Structure 1
Amino acid sequence: MASTTSTPEATRAAPAEPAPKSRGSRRRGPYPYWFLIIPGVIYVVFFVVPTLTSFYFSFTRWDLFTSRWIGLDNYRTFFQEQALVIGLRNTLIYAVLTSGLKVVLGMALAIALTSRIIARGYLRSVIFFPVLVSAIGVGLTFTVLMNPEKGLINNALGHVGVDGPGWLTNPSLALISVALVDVWKGVGLATVIYIAGLVSIAGEYNEAAQVDGASRWQLFRTITLPLVRPATASVITLSLIGGLRSFDLIYAMTKGGPGFASDVIASVIYKQYQAGFYGLSTAGSVVLFLLVTLIVVPLTRWLNRAED
Structure 2
Amino acid sequence: MTVTTTETMLTTDAGAPKRLSSSKRLMKSRYPLWFLLPGGLLMIVVFVVPTLSSFYFSLTRWTLFEADFIGLDNFVTFFRDPQLLGSFRNTFVYAIITSVGKVVTGLALAVLLTGPILGRGYLRAVMFFPVLVSAVGIGITFKVLLNPIDGLVNTTLGFFGLPGPGWLTDPSLALISVALVDVWKGVGVSTLIFMAGLVAIPRDYYEAARIDGASSWRLFRSITLPLVRPAMTTVVLLNVIAGLRSFELIWTMTGGGPGFTSDVLGSVIYKQYAAGFYGLSTAGNVVLFLVVALITVPMQIRFRRREVQQ
Give 1:118's aligned amino acid.
L
Q: Distance in 2 between matches of 1:143 and 1:31?
A: 55
Query: How large is the Cα RMSD of the aligned pairs?
Result: 1.8
| 1:193 alignment counterpart | 193
Q: Distance in 2 between matches of 1:176 and 1:70?
A: 38
Q: Distance in 2 between matches of 1:135 and 1:180?
A: 13
- Identity percentage of aligned residues: 62
Is 2:263 the counterpart of 1:282?
no
| 2:239 alignment counterpart | 239
Shift in Å at residue 23 of structure 1?
A: 10
| 1:14 alignment counterpart | none
| 2:225 alignment counterpart | 225
Specify whether residues 27 and 248 from structure 1 end up closer, same or farther in structure 2 by C-alpha distance, changes over 3 A only.
Answer: same
Shift in Å at residue 99 of structure 1?
A: 0.4
Q: TM-score, normalised by structure 2?
A: 0.90
Give 1:229's aligned amino acid.
R
Q: Distance in 2 between matches of 1:123 and 1:45?
A: 42
What secondary structure, in the 3-state scheme, does the structure 2 residue paired with 1:163 have?
coil
Unmatched 5+ stretches in structure 1 = 1-16
What secondary structure, in the 3-state scheme, does the structure 1 residue paired with 2:25 have?
coil
Shift in Å at residue 269 of structure 1?
A: 0.8
| 2:173 alignment counterpart | 173
Give 2:216's aligned amino acid.
R
Aligned runs of 1:243-258 on 2, under 5 Å? Answer: 243-258=243-258
Q: TM-score, normalised by structure 1?
A: 0.91
Shift in Å at residue 32 of structure 1?
A: 3.9
Q: Distance in 2 between matches of 1:67 and 1:22?
A: 54
Deviation digits for residues 10-49 of structure 1 (CA, Å, limit 9, x no counterpart) = xxxxxxx9x7765993683797432222212211111111
| 2:4 alignment counterpart | none
Shift in Å at residue 159 of structure 1?
A: 1.1
Q: Distance in 2 between matches of 1:31 and 1:225?
A: 42
Bigger CA drift: 39-48 or 215-224?
39-48
| 2:89 alignment counterpart | 89
Deviation digits for residues 161-215 of structure 1 (CA, Å, limit 9, x no counterpart) = 1111000000000000000000000000000000000000001101111111111
Give 1:135's aligned amino acid.
A
Aligned runs of 1:51-62 on 2, under 5 Å? Answer: 51-62=51-62
Q: Distance in 2 between matches of 1:210 and 1:130?
A: 36
Give 2:39's aligned amino acid.
P
- Determine which structure has the larger helix proportion and give its number: 2
Deviation digits for residues 111-164 of structure 1 (CA, Å, limit 9, x no counterpart) = 110111111111101100111110000000000000001101011111111111
Q: Distance in 2 between matches of 1:117 and 1:191?
A: 16
Q: Distance in 1 between matches of 2:293 and 2:181?
A: 25
Q: Distance in 2 between matches of 1:126 and 1:26?
A: 53
Q: Distance in 2 between matches of 1:41 and 1:208?
A: 52
Residues matched between the structures, number? 291
What secondary structure, in the 3-state scheme, does the structure 2 residue paired with 1:61 have?
strand
Specify whether residues 139 and 29 from structure 1 end up closer, same or farther in structure 2 by C-alpha distance, changes over 3 A only.
Answer: farther
What secondary structure, in the 3-state scheme, does the structure 2 residue paired with 1:117 have?
coil
